Amino acid sequence: MTSNVEQQVKVFQDRFSHVVDEVSKVIVGNGDVISNVLTCLLVRGHVLLEGIPGVGKTKLVQTLSDVTDLGFSRIQFTPDLMPGDIIGSNVVRETDDGKKSFVFQHGPVFTNILLADEINRATPKTQSALLEAMQENSVSAGGSTHKLDQPFFVLATQNPIEMEGTYPLPEAQMDRFLFKLRLDFPEAADLLTIVERTTQQDELTVSQVLSKSEILEMRETARAVPVAQPVMRYAIAIALATHPESSEGHDLAKQYVRFGSSPRGVQSLILGAKVNALLNDRFYVSADDVKAVVLPALRHRVLINFEAEAERVDSDQILEEIVRFVSLPKT
């Protein structure tokens, strides 16, 4: 690496670690989840975060907002939430001279970090309004298109154990999320730390360690990391191995998978691998970087069948076996 590139990598690593360390003051025992959330922010992706109530999903997003110079909004999704409650709507305004006109009033989606809490409790129509904003980085209302501020980052949460009264995200909409992350119940030692920290008299505070301009710089650095053709083909081979109808499909995919990964899955693998490479002192992507992000990038894109559910085989198990099966293509 040239000295300039080495400096870029070092700056990226330092800024990344400062954010993770600061967020970890509040969020205990989930370093990988924090890193993956930050990875998505830095490659212009969005996150679907799954976990039981009380494990810190909402607190994680709030803390990330506190340590960065970014605006934050939270939407609690409910069955009666309407698209206008998210994107905004046209309202009648009267001027000083008595004239009336329609003015677009921005909704909570006009922010930098948006927490979509329990997204599966809203109707598909309302979910679609948010997912359109995620894809297009803009919203349409009243015949006009309104651009969203950058960076724009959505972290949607859902509770995996309460499915009554919910509207599961369709496969095509799940595909809009770069990563799906799972926030597990903490271990005993971590739980002890959490209880000690949260039952003290003073509430924990964090410092702002990253500005909006620095985030945009880190985005450019991540996007600039080159990827060799063999590594590209390796990522494609992993995605193809998840397809039961493909000649390159893995045996487990043919037995347990209904639908395999979409092309967006390959994009997610490459983008996540670029950040992983930078964090490991490299300005190029290796097969190991791709392997490191297979589960968060593809677990929500590999749809299992009834046989898999009956035998308690999940997408993570299938993907882990595929990673062991697929070898790096030769140049």
Instruction: Map out the domains of the chain as residue ranges.
Output: 1-82+110-209, 225-331
- Tens-binned pLDDT, residue by residue, of the chain (331 aa): 677 888 989 999 999 999 999 998 888 878 899 999 999 999 999 999 988 777 777 888 888 988 998 889 999 998 888 888 888 877 777 777 777 777 777 888 999 999 998 888 888 888 888 888 888 888 877 677 888 888 999 999 887 766 666 788 878 788 999 999 988 787 788 778 778 777 775 677 788 899 999 999 999 999 999 999 999 999 999 999 999 998 888 999 999 999 999 999 999 999 999 999 999 999 999 999 999 999 999 999 999 999 999 999 999 999 999 999 998 766 5
**Where would I find the beta strands (DSSP E) of the chain?**
47-50, 72-76, 88-94, 100-106, 113-117, 138-141, 144-147, 153-158, 179-182, 257-259, 303-304
What's the confidence (pLDDT) of residue 1? 60
Topology of domain 225-331 in CATH is: Helicase, Ruva Protein; domain 3 (1.10.8)
Topology of domain 1-82+110-209 in CATH is: Rossmann fold (3.40.50)
Cα-based distances in Å from 212 to 44, 124, 172: 13, 32, 31
What's the confidence (pLDDT) of residue 164? 62
pTM over 0.75: yes
Half-sphere exposure of 48 (CA within 13 A, CB side): 27
What's the confidence (pLDDT) of residue 105? 79
What's the confidence (pLDDT) of residue 37? 94
